[in-house]
């Protein structure tokens, strides 16, 4: 699904009669792949996700789905049927008595038959590294924090959204749950979904994203492929953002005199770049 935003602006009223500009002329075209959304707290990430989901109407600008206006009429209906939004700390919204009912709620509400709802719930939980057989009968509130987050994300994945929006899905998660989340995001995009992930965690985006968009005061200040953004420590720092840990280490090694080439995003890529630099250094 192709989602296009053009010149999207939005201001909120704050007490005292002032207006705060949350989004300021955002133009983006998203079609497939995973886009990582970065920016400081208050830069407009969550508001942008809400506009993309059709939950919040911008003051100015256009929102289109596959070329059709999505701010009203058939386009808006198409968007609302296609979107799956995982809010920040989504486990706060649990209300069902069992994990099975929680994950299958959206499917049943859409009239999906019981057997298929169960199969799709099991599939979504498996994507998050959890088992319906094992956890299905338990209260979602009795799970550990990491399991709760994964159940909450699975409840959106079960709907197989064409447009999957996630707001800080890995905040507070341990490495195992974080990896499950990255795998599920990649699986969703491999299945054809257009995915947007808002995150402060450069290392999660280095693994999950194809493209990175950064916001500052509601404006897009950076938009490019993951390696040309998160892999470029100097560029990221210039925009007040954190690079991937491996890119930061590569920059530190270069400053110390080891000529590490490229833009490594992971430990494996960094080690390979170091090995090449050492070989070149030894040969000269």
Partner 1 sequence: MVEGEIAGGLAVRARGVRHSYVRGREDLRGVDLDVAPGELVAVIGENGSGKTTLARHLNALLALQAGSLTVAGLDTADPARVWELRRACGMVFQNPENQLVSSVVGEDVAFGPRNFGADEGQARAAARRALGEVGLAGFERRDAHTLSGGQQQRVALAAVLACEPDVVVLDEATSMIDPRGRDELTRAVEAFRCERGATVIWITHDMELAARADRVVVMCAGEVAASGAPADVLVDEALLSRAGLEAPLAVRTWRALEDAGVVAPSAPGACPVTTEGLVRALCG
Binding positions for partner 1, rule: CB under 8 A: 39-42, 142-147, 168, 171-177, 200, 202, 240-242, 245-246, 248-249, 252-253, 256-258, 267-268, 270-272, 274-275, 278
Q: How far is the CB of 170 from partner 1 (least distance, A)?
A: 9
Alpha-carbon distance of 202 to 205, in angstroms, equals 5
- Residue in the structure block whose two tokens are 């447009």: 163
Q: What is the DSSP string of 4-73?
A: EEEEEEEEEEETTTEEEEEEEEEEEEEESSEEEEE--TTSSHHHHHHHHTTSS--SEEEEEETTEE-SSH
Q: How far is the CB of 148 from partner 1 (least distance, A)?
A: 9
Alpha-carbon distance of 158 to 122, in angstroms, equals 8
Cβ proximity to partner 1, 101 vs 239, nearer residue: 239
Q: How far is the CB of 152 from partner 1 (least distance, A)?
A: 13
**How many Å separate Cα 213 from the centre of its chain?**
11
Alpha-carbon distance of 218 to 282, in angstroms, equals 48
Cβ proximity to partner 1, 42 vs 225, nearer residue: 42
Cβ proximity to partner 1, 118 vs 200, nearer residue: 200
Q: How far is the CB of 116 from partner 1 (least distance, A)?
A: 31
Cβ proximity to partner 1, 17 vs 257, nearer residue: 257
């Amino acid at each position: 699904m192709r989602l296009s935003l053009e010149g999207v602006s939005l201001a909120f009223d704050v007490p005292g009669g002032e207006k705060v500009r949350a989004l300021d002329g955002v133009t983006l075209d998203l079609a497939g792949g995973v886009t990582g959304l970065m920016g400081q707290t208050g830069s407009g990430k969550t508001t942008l996700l809400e506009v993309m989901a059709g939950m919040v109407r911008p003051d100015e600008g256009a929102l289109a789905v596959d070329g059709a206006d999505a701010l009203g009429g058939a386009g808006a209906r198409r968007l609302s049927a296609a979107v799956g939004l995982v809010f920040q700390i989504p486990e706060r919204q649990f209300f069902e008595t069992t994990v099975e009912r929680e994950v299958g709620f959206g499917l049943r509400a859409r009239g999906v038959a019981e057997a298929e709802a169960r199969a799709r719930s099991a599939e979504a939980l498996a994507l998050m590294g959890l088992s319906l057989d094992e956890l299905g009968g338990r209260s979602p509130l009795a799970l550990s924090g990491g399991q709760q987050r994964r159940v909450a994300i699975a409840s959106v994945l079960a709907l197989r959204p064409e447009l999957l929006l996630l707001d800080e899905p890995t905040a507070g998660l341990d490495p195992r749950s974080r990896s499950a989340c990255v795998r599920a995001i990649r699986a969703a995009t491999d299945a054809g979904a257009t995915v947007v992930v808002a995150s402060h965690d450069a290392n999660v985006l280095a693994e999950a994203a194809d493209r990175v968009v950064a916001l500052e005061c509601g404006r897009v200040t950076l938009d490019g492929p993951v390696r040309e953004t998160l892999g470029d420590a100097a560029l990221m720092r210039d925009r007040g953002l954190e690079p991937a840990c491996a890119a930061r280490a590569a920059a530190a090694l270069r400053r110390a005199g080891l000529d590490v080439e490229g833009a490594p995003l992971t430990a494996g890529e960094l080690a390979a770049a170091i090995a090449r630099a050492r070989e070149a250094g030894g040969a000269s």
